[in-house]
Structures are given as C-alpha cells and as structure tokens.
Amino acid sequence: MNPENLSLSERVALLQGSLRETPVVELAAEGIRLHAKLEHANPFGSLKDRPAFWILKSAVESGEVTERTTLIESSSGNFANAMASYCRLLGLEFIPVIDPNIAGSNEAFLQRMCKRVVKVQERDETGGFLKTRLRKVQELCKELEDTFWPNQYGNPKVAEAHYRYTGEEICRVFKQLDYVFVGVSTGGTIAGVSQRLKERFPSVKVIAVDAEGSVIFGGPPKKRHIPGIGASVRAELVDRALIDEVVNVPEVETVRACRELLYQHGLLVGGSSGSCYAAVKRYLPRMRSLSAPPQVLFLCADKGGPYLDTVFNDPWCARLEQ
C-alpha cells in the first residue's frame, strides 16, 4: 500500500496505531508502592503526541483541516515536536511559533521537520514569551489563507485525548490507585487524566505539580528556567481538572530529583518528571497510612536528552542556586 495514494483521512486512520500503550514501571521506595508512567515511549517522545494526534484527527474528520491547510501553533517544546511530526507524516504544512527559551535540540528538530519556523524575540508584559507567541499565531492566521490553530491551551480535544488514552491506560494497569502526581502547564493532561481516574478510582487523590514562580494556581510570578511545567498565564483547560491538592516545586529541587531518577532509578527523564518525583517526596509524610502501602503514580512526560544542557549540566544548575 502506497500512503501517497491515500486520502488524508485514510492516512490519519493509519496513524492511529502509532499511539501505543506506554509502560508503567515500579521504582524502589520506602513506605509506598511508587510507579512511573513513561510517556517518552510515545512515538515522538512525549505525552503531547496524544493530544496532537487527537486534535488533528478530529479536525480532519470535521473538515477544518484539509490537504491545503497550514497549521500554526505556539509551542517551544513537546507539542510543537509532536505536531510537526504528525503533520510531516500526513504531508501537511505546520508553522511552529517558538521563543528563545527553546531547547537547542528541539529547535534543530523543528527546523528539519518544518518548512517554516517563526521565533519571537520580545518578552510579553509578564516577562515571558507566551503572550507574544500567541499574538504571533493570530497574526499569521490572519495573514495566510486556510489556516488552523490547534489551540493546545483551550481545545477540549486535548483533555479528551488524555481521558481516552493516558487515563484509560492507567485504569487498565491498576486495580487500586491512591495518589497520582501530574505536572501542569496548559492543564490538558491533568484535566483528562483526573476525569478518567476519578470515575474508576473515586477515592484517588490527584496532586497537581507546578513550578515555583508559575501563576497557574495563584502563586507570585517569578522567572522560571525549566520548560514543560508551569505557566505565566493560567490556561482554561486547568478548570476542567479535578484536583485535590497542588504542590509547588522549586527548580533546584526539580534538578536534584531528575538526577536522583537517573542515578538511583536509571530513568533519564525531563524536568517535569523530576518535579513530579520531587512532589511525591515532599508529599510523602502526608500520604495516609493504609493497611497496605499506598499505590502512587507519577507521570514522566518526556525524556531527559533535551535537558542535557540545562537540568543535567552542572554550571547551568549552579547559576540556578545563586
């Protein structure tokens, strides 16, 4: 079968099989049964593959995206990588709008996958780049013909993808689950996962993990350096999440936790995974003692490779502590 001869919807249907179940591994821990779900096993390396595919599939089915559509999205990380990869496989044009904080390896990847990459340079009124990136997306959508903005910050399909895939898979693996720790940025992951898990395990506690300096849950804004977790603006998908508690993790703790995951557990994973692990450790004294050790899960959203120049780089980390 030659994919070139297939229609766009037929090519999308073929790609559905790319979303395979990601592994859950158990880590040694005292007093709890600790599990990590390894989302870097997704086809393009992160948990964002699921919503990227799901948004594309829905938009092709509804006719909002055709062979002639250009997709445009603000992302300096995993969502852009996922969208760029799926669009490339489907023969669609995708323009990622990125900013100077992007990891070098991600930028190089996007440059290879996309004909055009737009990089904003000006900080917005919050001191970050998110609002500038979003304004650039709107500009490009007006300027070009036949465009589609996936809107990873507010598209309910993002939560639906995590409900159907990430949440559903967790339900298949566990008979009982007491705590789940999920890193938050747009809130799409925690929205979908929490909705599905609360149906299956009504007493599960959902812990949102945020970065110190992020404004999502109302803390004071502060410059942050580790991508993937936290935000300078609260996205509307956060309101769909069923959250029991929030743990804010300082970046120095994230770094330590990433290294502990690597050197003690053999997991080379990214910043938000370290934040979730650090949050588990912070929360440990408050986990209720049951007759059996509680079943605890945290999500590892991406792999550690793109963080070698930051979280796993000693001089970079030393500057964080100053």
Q: Please report, as ranges, the residues that interact with ligand PLP according to CB under 6 A.
A: 46, 48, 77-79, 183-190, 228-229, 270, 272, 301-302
Could you give the CA distance from residue 232 to residue 126 in angstroms, rounded to a whole number? 7
- Interacting residues of 1 by C-beta distance below 8 A, sequence separation 6+: none
Residue 289's alpha-carbon distances to 53, 101, 176, 285, in angstroms, are 40, 42, 15, 9
Residue closer to ligand PLP (CB basis): 117 or 241: 241
Closest contact distance (angstroms) between CB of 91 and ligand PLP is 25
Sign of CA dihedral 267, 272, 274, 279: negative
Residue closer to ligand PLP (CB basis): 13 or 243: 243
Residue closer to ligand PLP (CB basis): 257 or 294: 257
Residue closer to ligand PLP (CB basis): 11 or 84: 84
Residue closer to ligand PLP (CB basis): 96 or 183: 183
Closest contact distance (angstroms) between CB of 228 and ligand PLP is 3
Burial 39-58 (b: 16+ CB within 10 A, else e): bbbbbbbbbbbbbbbbbbbb
Closest contact distance (angstroms) between CB of 134 and ligand PLP is 14
Q: Which residue sits closest to ligand PLP, CB atoms considered? A: 228
Closest contact distance (angstroms) between CB of 184 and ligand PLP is 5
> Which is nearest to 50 in space by CA: 186, 210, 147?
186
Is residue 24 within 8 Å of residue 37, measured between CB atoms?
yes
Closest contact distance (angstroms) between CB of 141 and ligand PLP is 21
